[in-house]
Structure 1
Amino acid sequence: MTAKSGRGAAFWNSDLVYSFRRSPVAIISTLVTVILVLTAILAPLIAPHNPFDPSTLNLMNGFSQPMQPNAFTGETFWLGTDGQGRDIFSTILYGMRISLFVASLAVLFAMVLGVTLGLIAGYVGGWVDTIIMRIADVQLTFPSILIAMLISGIARGFTPVQYRDEVAIWVLIIAIGLSDWVQFARVVRGTTLIEKNKEYVQAARMIGRSRGAIMLWHILPNVLNPVLVIATISFALAIIAEATLSFLGVGAPPTEPSLGTLINTGRDFLLSGEWWILLFPALTLLALALSVNLLGDWLRDALNPRLR
């Protein structure tokens, strides 16, 4: 019991927790992120309606204004409805699930690919390092969103038309992941170049451990701090990238709309006076991306020993 209490006290008084408790921005951004993520995960339980179930829609509820009874049915919707009578609050919750799902898997894919290539480039060196880093340099000359659009376009071109909507989400994940692995690879490579010359790595070599074992069990744990920071910031960028691609019509399909798809749909009604169809999904995207980004900025500063 005493040992557990001691570990708990040590954690509570650690530099990271102390920095978190002293940062109002970190606390607020964490609360906003947790609330948005939980509401997205629990959307089937929280949402008043299933906006993608045609049997629950009533066209008479179309274009209902927020918090005002519909003139025909008398129903009231918190954030209004769109032209098909879909509850905007429910569509935001379900759309946010798609955005978070795509961003999470895209960052995970980019992290695994970038960390693997960075470890190999930094530890093996030579022509392997040269090839990997030159590919990374070439990719950095292009905006990541253009890389994602290019990859998405190529994948769609090779996919039969009847299957495009079914694989659109996975194409989106791969496109964003392949456009974002470079940051992970460059940081891990730089850290690996430093770590591989330290005594513990030389000792592992002397006892006959393989290259793969050394990279996985000795070097990788020592490069995770910057990887965690990059992953948090990349998560916010992935959310924006997904929304951008969906807004441009090359992302999530209409049958599984994300926040970007909802914003694209709302744009068509903005000039006709139905402002809420665009405003509320856009504000949700802004709150989600901003809170995650601020949390990543705090984490970067908190894990930087030079700023302690």
Structure 2
Amino acid sequence: MASPAPTHSEPTSLLARVLDSDVFYSYRKSPVTVVASIVLAGLILAAVLAPLIAPYNPFDPSSLNLMDGYTAPLSDSMMGNYFVLGTDHQGRDVLSTILYGSRVSLFVGISATLFAMVLGVTLGLFAGYRGKTTDAIIMRIADIQLTFPAILIALLIFGFARGIIPPAQQESAAVWVLIFAIGLSNWAQFARTVRGATMVERQKEYVAAARIMGVHPVMILVKHILPNVTGPVLVIATIGLALAIIEEATLSFLGVGVPPTQPSLGTLIRIGQQFLFSGEWWILFFPAVTLVLLALSVNLLGDWLRDALNPRLRQ
């Protein structure tokens, strides 16, 4: 009698491993996180597709009509045009301005967070691995920066950068200056967290083995230590994204953010608050609600990710 042929288990796909992971199980068991991710995905998708789904181009002067100004939501203007969320004082469709403004807010927030993460992780790795003088200098700079509010540091950096940029180029460079200012004001949290994790990892046997084999310190940091400190970095980056979006909105609300020709949600809120007490509440209300939903959904995802990646909280 022939013996049965041996069976070989096929390797599972990446998608199957993700769906079977503890992190995805935690995600499915958290209705708040699921709702927050759906809201965030919807806002991001709407912002990315703004040129395709926006009813109007609110920043094209040729398409604006002052006779459409101050139109209430769900009503027709004096010119017979219908606006779902109403119009502002210039006759711009509020829904379209929110879609285009969300693109600017998300671009600035994501870019500033990536810049802060790259800078903070790099400095944290070198501070934790090298120690001594390198560690002391980097951490003292981080400690000094953390004693000041991030918005104050961003205002200082933004003002300094605007002072050295020629006036003719200030408007075109405003978004990049804003990204630089916000990112440079938020790197310290990444550096402190990565530095602590690196100091723990560098004492382990696999790092000692890599040193004995003659692996370059930079390769040890990139290939061996960095993958083991990405968990806390992802949590800080997620929460930092919400803070960066709020910080950009605050700077734009104060009038030192992006120019009026490419306004963000903060600029729309600054414009809307001028008409709040005159009865045109929708000019402020809808951009403010969008900003709250955006920041809240990112924060909720960050809180879930922090708990999901914490092995002490796993059952």
Aligned counterpart, 1:243: 249
Q: Does the C-alpha gap of structure 1 residues 265 and 196 become closer, same or farther in structure 2, counting only changes over 3 Å?
A: same
Distance 1:60 1:7 in 2: 56
Q: Indicate the SS of the match to 2:151.
A: helix
Aligned letter for 1:35?
G
Kindly indicate whether residue 20 of structure 2 is the aligned counterpart of residue 17 of structure 1: no
Distance 2:114 2:65 in 1: 39
Aligned counterpart, 2:181: 175
Aligned letter for 1:66?
P
Name stretches of at least 5 consecutive residues in structure 1 with no aligned partner.
none
Aligned residue pairs, count: 307
Report the Cα offset of residue 8 of structure 1. 4.4
Kindly indicate whether residue 50 of structure 2 is the aligned counterpart of residue 49 of structure 1: no
Q: Does the C-alpha gap of structure 1 residues 6 and 258 become closer, same or farther in structure 2, counting only changes over 3 Å?
A: closer
Q: Identify which of 280, 290, 294 aligns with 2:300.
A: 294
Kindly indicate whether residue 156 of structure 2 is the aligned counterpart of residue 150 of structure 1: yes
Q: Does the C-alpha gap of structure 1 residues 73 and 114 become closer, same or farther in structure 2, counting only changes over 3 Å?
A: same
Identity rate, percent: 64
Counterpart mapping for 1:276-287 below 5 A: 276-287=282-293
Deviation readout 1:32-74 (Å, 9 max, x if unpaired): 000000000000001000100111111110111000111x212
Kindly indicate whether residue 157 of structure 2 is the aligned counterpart of residue 136 of structure 1: no
Q: Does the C-alpha gap of structure 1 residues 186 and 275 become closer, same or farther in structure 2, counting only changes over 3 Å?
A: same
Aligned counterpart, 1:123: 129
Query: For the aligned residues, what is the CA RMSD?
Result: 1.2
Q: Does the C-alpha gap of structure 1 residues 9 and 2 become closer, same or farther in structure 2, counting only changes over 3 Å?
A: farther
Q: Identify which of 252, 256, 259 aligns with 1:253.
A: 259
Q: Identify which of 216, 220, 241 aligns with 2:226.
A: 220
Deviation readout 1:171-208 (Å, 9 max, x if unpaired): 10000000000010000000000000111100110010
Aligned counterpart, 2:33: 26
Kindly indicate whether residue 81 of structure 2 is the aligned counterpart of residue 59 of structure 1: no
Report the Cα offset of residue 161 of structure 1. 1.5
Aligned letter for 2:40?
T
Aligned letter for 2:273?
R
Report the Cα offset of residue 164 of structure 1. 1.1
Q: Indicate the SS of the match to 1:271.
A: helix
Q: Identify which of 192, 197, 212 aligns with 1:191.
A: 197
Aligned counterpart, 1:39: 46
Distance 1:137 1:64 in 2: 50
Q: Does the C-alpha gap of structure 1 residues 49 and 215 become closer, same or farther in structure 2, counting only changes over 3 Å?
A: same
Aligned letter for 1:69?
D
Deviation readout 1:64-98 (Å, 9 max, x if unpaired): 1000111x212110000011110000000000000
The structure with the largest alpha-carbon Rg is: 2
Aligned letter for 1:211?
P
Distance 2:256 2:9 in 1: 57
Q: TM-score, normalised by structure 1?
A: 0.97
Aligned letter for 2:144?
V
Report the Cα offset of residue 11 of structure 1. 2.6
Report the Cα offset of residue 5 of structure 1. 5.2
Aligned letter for 1:300?
R
Distance 1:100 1:7 in 2: 29
Distance 2:65 2:94 in 1: 14
Aligned counterpart, 1:164: 170
Q: TM-score, normalised by structure 2?
A: 0.95
Report the Cα offset of residue 10 of structure 1. 3.6
Q: Which moved more, 1:88-97 or 1:56-65?
A: 56-65
